[in-house]
């Protein structure tokens, strides 16, 4: 007859680590990306009601095609300056400095969004940077798209003259006569923040 099952034995010792396996073959080389590190922010002059409404990130090495070098009727792009005064938000030295810019690519996070009046990103999104919402001044002839300008402004070296052109001003919230309808929590005396998020 088959006997009863014996008592379970003790756990054995861990064996020696095996030898390292052979190195796999090198993968195929990826497609090279476009080398565009940055340039300068440009836009229409603040006194002109025509031209483009949005700021542009202009490369420092333009490539031209056919060109007419005489007088022409068209539009012009100007450099962009910070008009940030001495409010203590940006360093006072930022005022009238020309604005650099950069084009960025996130390989694994292709979706990108800018959220005004926020400093943090929604759950599942990665913060690229935070800053201040900026655009042209409200009484200028030129309207411009809102841009999220990094909270640590950089300058283009040697371009600090008050030459104007396209301009960046801080943005506030109008709370006069309840026009916004959300004051509070919005405060007309505080400049709006922004954050750029990727996913």
Give the pLDDT confidence of 97-119 residue by residue, as tens digits. 989 988 777 778 888 899 999 99
Angle at CA of residue 59, ends 144 and 98, nearest 5°: 55
Cβ pair 151, 131 in contact under 8 A: yes
3-state secondary structure of 101: strand
Angle at CA of residue 52, ends 129 and 84, nearest 5°: 45
| Separation CA 69–CA 67 (nearest Å) | 6
More confident residue, 96 or 60: 96
Looking at the DSSP assignment, which residues form a beta bridge with residue 170? 134
pLDDT band of residue 1 (cuts 50, 70, 90) is confident
| Count of C-beta atoms within a 10 Å radius of residue 53 | 13
| Separation CA 163–CA 172 (nearest Å) | 25
Give the pLDDT confidence of 125-179 residue by residue, as tens digits. 999 999 999 998 888 888 888 999 999 999 887 777 788 888 989 998 877 766 6
Angle at CA of residue 43, ends 194 and 159, nearest 5°: 90
Provide the pLDDT for residue 183: 79
- pLDDT at residue 30 greater than cutoff 50: no
Show the tokens assigned to 109: 């996070």
Provide the pLDDT for residue 37: 58
pLDDT band of residue 20 (cuts 50, 70, 90) is low
Please name the helix (run of DSSP H) or strand (run of DSSP E) that holds residue 116, with its range, or none.
strand 112-116
Query: By C-alpha distance, which of 53, 153, 136, 39 is closest to 95?
Result: 153
Give the pLDDT confidence of 33-68 residue by residue, as tens digits. 444 457 888 888 898 888 788 888 888 877 778 777
Provide the pLDDT for residue 26: 62
DSSP letter string, 11-53: PPPPPPPPPPPPPPPPPPPPPPPP----EEEEE--TT-SSS-S
| Separation CA 36–CA 149 (nearest Å) | 19
Q: Which long-range contacts (CB under 8 A, 24 or more apart) does 25-28 make?
A: none
| Separation CA 127–CA 198 (nearest Å) | 7
């Amino acid at each position: 007859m088959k006997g009863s099952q014996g008592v379970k034995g003790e756990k054995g010792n861990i064996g020696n680590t095996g030898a390292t396996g052979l190195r796999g073959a090198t993968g195929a080389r990826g497609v090279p990306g476009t080398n565009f590190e940055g340039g300068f922010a440009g836009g229409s002059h603040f006194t002109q009601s025509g031209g483009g409404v949005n700021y542009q990130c202009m490369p420092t090495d333009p490539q031209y095609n056919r060109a007419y070098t005489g007088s022409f009727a068209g539009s012009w792009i100007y450099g962009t300056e910070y008009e940030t005064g001495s409010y203590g938000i940006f360093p006072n030295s930022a005022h009238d400095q020309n604005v650099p810019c950069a084009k960025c690519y996130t390989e694994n996070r292709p979706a990108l969004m800018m959220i005004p009046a926020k400093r943090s990103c929604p759950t599942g999104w990665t913060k690229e940077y935070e800053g201040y919402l900026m655009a042209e001044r409200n009484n200028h002839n030129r309207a411009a798209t809102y841009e999220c300008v990094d909270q640590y402004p950089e300058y283009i070296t040697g371009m600090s003259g008050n030459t104007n052109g396209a301009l960046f001003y801080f943005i506030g919230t109008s709370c006069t006569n309840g026009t916004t309808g959300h004051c509070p929590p919005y405060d007309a005396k505080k400049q709006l923040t922004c954050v750029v998020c990727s996913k």
